[in-house]
């Protein structure tokens, strides 16, 4: 009987944990959009997160159930470094007299099958100046991102490696064991080839 009760209680408990995680994620996203985390921003984020959860249908968040603290610290630390470095590079580009704009839309095939990791990867990439995700193919786990200062295949490959590196750090920190295995298998083989549509703008 105790085993049956444990099994029956695990469903509601897991659902509550998923809902709380989703609400916290929405609040964090709201704070990131505003670029600050003061009391007013957090309170309005909580209110909006609750309203969104009640009014709009949101698919259930599938949590992996694992967190690697060291990889999580590395992910957030590397994200800060990437933001600072990219900000300096963009500042140099816009002040460079001989700069010739050449941008591209790059297809990035991901290894994860988690909606949460996929969304977090897109958000992390978009937070770094110079690149922004313009579309996401959920069914095929593909991101399409717009990248500045992309002149040749070497630049496209660099952007692809950076995007896949962001996904890898997130998967190693928060992804499921299946996602970890897929990322490790990808890293052991050849790096996926990106397709890019270039343009001057």
The continuous run of DSSP H or E covering 30 comes out as: helix 2-34
- 83 shares a domain with 52: no
Helix residue ranges per DSSP H, the chain: 2-34, 39-55, 69-95, 115-127, 153-174, 177-188
Asked if residue 71 and residue 2 are part of one domain, the reply reads: no
CB distance 31 to 42 below 8 Å: yes
- As a whole number of angstroms, the distance between CA 55 and CA 49 comes to 10
Of 10, 38, 61, the position where a domain reaches its end is 61
The reply to whether 52 and 149 lie within a common domain is no
83 and 2 within one domain: no
**Looking at residue 6, what is its pLDDT?**
45
Calpha distance 61→19 (Å, rounded): 8
- The crossing angle, in degrees rounded to 10, of helices 153-174 and 69-95 is 150
Domain boundary among 61, 77, 93: 61
pLDDT value for 103: 86
Asked if 77 and 154 sit in the same domain, the reply is yes
pTM: 0.68
Is the separation of the CB atoms in 107 and 195 below 8 Å?
Answer: yes
Structural domain that includes position 186: 66-201
Predicted confidence at residue 10, as pLDDT, reads 52
94 and 26 in one domain? Answer: no
How would you write the pLDDT of the chain (201 residues) with one tens digit per residue?
A: 444 444 445 555 656 766 777 788 888 888 888 888 889 999 999 998 888 878 876 566 566 667 889 999 999 999 999 999 999 988 888 888 777 778 889 999 999 988 889 989 999 999 898 888 999 998 899 999 999 888 888 889 999 999 999 999 999 999 888 989 999 998 887 555 555 565 655
- Both 33 and 72 in one domain: the answer is no
Same domain, residue pair 137 and 124: yes
Question: Is residue 133 domain-shared with residue 91, that is, in the same domain?
Answer: yes
- Percentage of the chain modeled with pLDDT above 90: 36
The span from the CA of 116 to the CA of 103, in Å, is 28
The predicted structure's pLDDT at residue 76: 93
Give the end of a domain, one of 26, 43, 61. 61
At residue 8, the pLDDT reads: 46
Q: Do residues 4 and 94 both lie within one domain?
A: no
Dist CA 18 CA 61 (whole Å): 6
Give pLDDT tens digits for 78-104.
Answer: 999 999 999 998 888 888 877 777 888
Here the CATH number for the domain that contains residue 105 is 3.30.70
Claim to verify: residue 149 and residue 188 sit in the same structural domain: yes
Same domain, yes or no: 47 and 90: no
pLDDT computed for residue 37 by the predictor: 84
Provide the number of structural domains found in the chain: 2
């Amino acid at each position: 009987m105790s085993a049956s009760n444990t099994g029956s209680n695990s469903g509601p408990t897991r659902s509550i944990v998923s809902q709380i995680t989703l609400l916290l994620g929405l609040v964090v996203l709201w704070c990131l959009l505003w670029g600050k985390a003061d009391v007013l921003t957090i309170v309005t984020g909580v209110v909006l997160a609750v309203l969104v959860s009640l009014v709009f249908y949101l698919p259930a968040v599938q949590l992996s159930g694992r967190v690697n603290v060291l990889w999580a610290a590395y992910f957030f630390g590397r994200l800060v470094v990437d933001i600072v470095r990219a900000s300096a590079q963009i500042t140099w580009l816009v002040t460079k007299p001989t700069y010739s704009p050449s941008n591209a839309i790059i297809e990035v095939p991901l290894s994860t099958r988690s909606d949460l990791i996929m969304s977090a990867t897109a958000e992390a990439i978009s937070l770094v100046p110079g690149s922004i995700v313009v579309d996401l193919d959920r069914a095929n786990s593909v991101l399409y991102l717009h990248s500045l200062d992309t002149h040749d295949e070497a630049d496209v490959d660099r952007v692809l490696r950076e995007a896949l590196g962001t996904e890898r750090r997130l998967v190693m920190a928060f992804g499921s064991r299946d996602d970890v295995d897929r990322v490790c298998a990808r890293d052991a083989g050849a790096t996926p080839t990106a397709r890019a549509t270039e343009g001057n703008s």
